[in-house]
Amino acid sequence: MKIATVCGMGFGTSMMLAMQVRQLVADEGVQASVDPVDLASFKSMHADIVVAPRDMADQVSEGAAQHVILIDNLVDRDEVNTKVLDAVRSFSS
C-alpha cells in the first residue's frame, strides 16, 4: 500500500503527517510506504491513500488516489489516526 502525505512545499505539513501515519501503520502492523510529497510531485504519482490538510481538498481530489483523507486539525492525533485507520481498513478489505 502506498500512502502520500501532501502539502504545498512537501516539507512541513506533509512531513508531520508522514511521521504520524508511519507510526500508526507500524503500530497496526500494516505494510505501507508513507511518502511526504509536495503538490506538484503528487499530481504525477500514484498513491492508494492520500492524506492532506482540508484546505488542499480541491488540489488533491484531482489525483488518482482511491482514498483521499482530509485533515481538519493537523495536531489532533486522534483525528489523523481515526481517519487514516478507516481508510487503511477500507483499502485492505
* pTM > 0.85: yes or no: yes
- Give the pLDDT of residue 10: 65
Structural domains in the chain, CATH included, are 2-92 (3.40.50.2300)
- Give the pLDDT of residue 24: 94
pLDDT band of 58, cuts 50, 70, 90 = confident
Percentage, residues of the chain above pLDDT 70: 94
Distance between CA atoms of residues 36 and 17, nearest Å: 8
Angle between helices 12-28 and 77-92 (to 10 degrees): 60
The owner of cell 505494510 is: 31
Q: What are phi and psi of 64, to 5 degrees?
A: -100, 15
